[in-house]
Amino acid sequence: KFTIMPLNSNPNIKELTAIVLLTFGIILAFVALLIPPGEIHDSVLFIFAQIIIYCGSIFGIDCYISKKIHDEK
């Protein structure tokens, strides 16, 4: 089996980075909305979309792998 990182090394790193980035993205969107002229620039929306995709992939892959490991046991 090919594994990039052992499952028991530190599983909270990926969740922590996803939560920190999601918090940063939400704060960035609100700050961009508060700065005049009161609209969110396309670049902020693009970065926020990339953060949402990253978080979704982290939690989705984690859920998928956890289910596969649970099914094998």
Q: Tens digits of per-residue pLDDT, 34-65?
A: 888 878 889 889 999 999 998 888 888 877 77
First to last CA, the chain: 17
Q: State the DSSP H helix or E strand holding residue 51, giving kind and residue range, or none if neither.
A: helix 42-72
Stretch 11-17: mean pLDDT: 78
Whole-model pTM: value is 0.67
Query: Residue 21 above 70 pLDDT?
Result: yes
pLDDT of residue 5: 56
- How many Cα atoms sit within 13 Å of 53 on the Cβ side? 6
pLDDT of residue 6: 56
Q: What are the φ and ψ backbone dihedral angles of 54, each rounded to 5 degrees? A: -60, -50
pLDDT of residue 3: 55
